[in-house]
Amino acid sequence: MTSGAVTVEAVYSRLGTLGYAVVPEDRTMVEYLIEKIVNSIKLDTNYIDFPMELLQMAIDMICGEFLQTKYATGQLTNFDFSGSVKKITEGDTTVEYAYGSGSKTPEERFTAYLKVLRTPDRSLIAAVRRLRW
C-alpha cells in the first residue's frame, strides 16, 4: 500500500532505525497513518499530489504517531527507552550522547522525541505551499 511516494516499507525502515521491531499486525495502523498524514500534508500545502520535498518529514510524522499510539495504549513492550550509548570515555576525552539524561527519565526523553517527530516543520510546509484562489 502506498500513498504517492510514502510506502509502508519506508515507514517500516524508519521504525527500525528508531528501535522498533515491526510485526505483521502493525500494517493496518501504518496504512491508516500514511493516508491520514499524507492527506493532512496535501491539504496544508494545497497540492493534489503529495509534494516529494516533504517525504522525510511525513515518514517521521507517521512513525511518531505510530509509536505514540503504541505507547499510549500500552502496546510498546520490549522497547528500550534509553539511548544506546550514554557516555564514552577515551583517555582524557569524554563524550555523552544521552541529552538531558541527568534531569529526565528515558521515557520522558522518548515522549519528548515523539513530540518532535509528530510535529510538522511549518517552515518546510510553507516553502512548498501553493496559494489558494
For position 26, what pLDDT does the model report?
Answer: 96
For position 102, what pLDDT does the model report?
Answer: 59
The C-alpha cell that represents 8 in the structure block:
509502508
Continuous H helices in 46-105: 55-72
Q: 1 near 34, Cβ under 8 Å? A: yes
Q: 94 near 87, Cβ under 8 Å? A: yes
Instruction: Tell me the pLDDT of the chain (133 aa) as tens digits.
Output: 445 689 999 999 999 999 999 999 999 999 999 999 999 999 999 999 999 999 999 999 999 999 999 999 999 888 877 654 455 566 666 655 555 555 678 888 889 999 999 999 999 999 999 887 6
Strand, coil or helix: 20 = coil
For position 72, what pLDDT does the model report?
Answer: 94
Q: What residues have CB less than 8 Å from 78, skipping those under 6 apart?
A: 21
For position 96, what pLDDT does the model report?
Answer: 59
Q: 81 near 110, Cβ under 8 Å? A: yes
φ, ψ dihedrals at 96, nearest 5°? -120, 125
For position 12, what pLDDT does the model report?
Answer: 97
